[in-house]
């Protein structure tokens, strides 16, 4: 099984065999993470720098833990306090980083495309931890691993992605990944929260939640991303919950063994009922967090193998 990439910038450039290579290795790291001694030296001697220009709880913690468990020297830069706030450009930041010789750079940035730009300027492997509304590849990969382990396969499944699709990089990366692996993807939500170029995605769109969830294998809920909204996209949170919040009644339209997912952070009582989120028979939200560490370990391990196999200039 081969992994052909020098960076992990999105799901778009990945082949189905790249995706399978990450998931297969991640399965092994799930086992390692469940042992008492959770340590490997796959990244020993390498330096990993995390740069989060946007707030993050689980993604940053997960990347940090993943690097540490693989033996890398991990540094998380406090971007709030950095020179960026003093007007330094992304390109100057890249030059500064190059001088520090990192091997792996994990970046989250509020602007779509900023991570790709940085990857062109630095001489190391870059992992996109979320750029604007564009992509969040490790989230889609951890979701895929969670689905594959719960359902025993990652093809010919019917998956509903529900809620604020328009502002969601998680939705975009998941649509790309699930499509590449030959699943049927449905988008469910109000028209105001659907992306404008929806026809390009090759998915079915539903405005009614009960219709959209009918007989699906997976229900993936998304947060209302208010920080990316610049107007009234929904009438009120109460009305939104009534029409689109996942509760027992709406979930009863999905298959009886359908799983419930959410990337977090969750707004209970807005897009999901707290009892559904905590129902261990349906919700795999905690598994998603567990798979996140393993998937990030696998992605960094595979990138490091490619990094070691070629001269540094090729990555520039
Ligand atoms: C997501 C993100 O940042 O895009 N969260 C995450 O990484 N777990 C989704 C969100 O913020 O709603």
Question: Residues 52-67: pLDDT tens digits?
Answer: 998 888 999 999 999 9
Q: Say if ligand 1 is within 6 A of residue 228 CB.
A: no
What's the gap in Å between 17 CA and the centre of ligand 1?
26
- Does residue 314 surpass a pLDDT of 60? no
| Average pLDDT along the chain | 93
5-23 pLDDT per residue, tens: 999 999 999 999 999 999 9
Average pLDDT over residues 192-199: 88
The pLDDT assigned to 227 comes to 80
What's the gap in Å between 263 CA and the centre of ligand 1?
6
Average pLDDT over residues 150-163: 98
Give the global pTM.
Answer: 0.95
- Does residue 81 surpass a pLDDT of 80? no
Average pLDDT over residues 88-102: 88
- Does residue 30 surpass a pLDDT of 80? yes
The pLDDT assigned to 155 comes to 98
Give the chain as a 3 state SS string. CCCCCCCECCCCCCCHHHHHHHHHHHHHHHHHHCCCCCCCCCCCCCEEEEEECCCCCHHHHHHHHHHHHCCCEEEEECHHHCHHHHCCCHHHHHHHHHHHCCCEEEEEECCCCHHHHHHHHCCCEEEEEEECCCECHHHHHHHHHHHHHHHCCCCCCEEEEECCCCCCHHHHHHHHHHHHCCCEEEEECCHHHCCCCHHHHCCEEECCHHHHHCCCCEEEECCCCHHHCCCCCCCCHHHHHHHHCECHHHHCCCCCCCEEECCCCCCECCCECHHHHHCCCCECHHHHHHHHHHHHHHHHHHHHHHHHHCCHHHHC
- Does residue 94 surpass a pLDDT of 90? no
- Does residue 246 surpass a pLDDT of 70? yes
Least confident stretch, 17-21, 234-238, 283-287, 312-316: 312-316
Q: Say if ligand 1 is within 6 A of residue 62 CB.
A: no
- Does residue 29 surpass a pLDDT of 70? yes
Q: Say if ligand 1 is within 6 A of residue 264 CB.
A: yes
Average pLDDT over residues 249-277: 97
* Reported confidence tier of residue 97, pLDDT bands at 50, 70, 90: confident
What's the gap in Å between 218 CA and the centre of ligand 1?
19
- Does residue 142 surpass a pLDDT of 60? yes
The pLDDT assigned to 109 comes to 93
The pLDDT assigned to 176 comes to 97
Q: Say if ligand 1 is within 6 A of residue 172 CB.
A: no
The pLDDT assigned to 303 comes to 98
The pLDDT assigned to 146 comes to 99
Q: Say if ligand 1 is within 6 A of residue 225 CB.
A: yes
- Does residue 124 surpass a pLDDT of 70? yes
């Amino acid at each position: 099984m081969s992994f052909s990439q020098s960076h992990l910038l999105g799901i778009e450039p990945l082949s189905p065999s790249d995706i399978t290579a990450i998931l297969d290795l991640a399965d092994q790291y799930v086992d390692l993470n469940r042992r008492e001694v959770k340590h490997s030296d796959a990244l020993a001697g390498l330096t990993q720098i995390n740069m989060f220009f946007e707030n993050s709880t689980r993604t940053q913690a997960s990347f940090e833990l993943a690097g540490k468990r693989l033996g890398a020297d991990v540094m998380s830069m406090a971007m709030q306090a950095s020179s960026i706030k003093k007007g330094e450009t992304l390109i100057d930041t890249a030059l500064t980083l190059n001088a520090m010789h990192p091997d792996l750079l994990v970046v989250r940035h509020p602007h779509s495309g900023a991570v790709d730009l940085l990857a062109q300027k630095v001489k190391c492997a870059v992992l996109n931890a979320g750029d604007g509304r564009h992509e969040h590849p490790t989230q889609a990969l951890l979701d895929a691993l969670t689905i594959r382990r719960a359902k025993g396969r990652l093809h010919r499944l019917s998956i509903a992605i529900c809620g604020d699709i328009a502002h969601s990089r998680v939705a975009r990366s998941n649509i790309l990944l699930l499509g590449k692996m030959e699943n049927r993807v449905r988008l469910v939500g109000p028209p105001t929260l659907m992306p404008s170029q929806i026809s390009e995605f090759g998915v079915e769109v539903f405005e009614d939640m009960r219709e959209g969830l009918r007989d699906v294998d997976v229900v993936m809920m998304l947060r209302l991303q208010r920080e990316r909204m610049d107007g009234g996209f929904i009438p009120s949170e109460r009305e939104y919950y009534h029409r689109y919040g996942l509760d027992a009644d709406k979930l009863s339209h999905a298959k009886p063994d359908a799983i419930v997912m959410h990337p977090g952070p969750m707004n209970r009582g807005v897009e999901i009922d707290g009892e559904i989120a905590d129902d261990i028979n349906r919700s795999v939200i905690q598994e998603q967090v567990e798979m996140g560490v393993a998937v990030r370990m696998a992605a960094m391990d595979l990138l490091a193998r490619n990094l070691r196999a070629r001269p540094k200039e090729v990555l520039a």
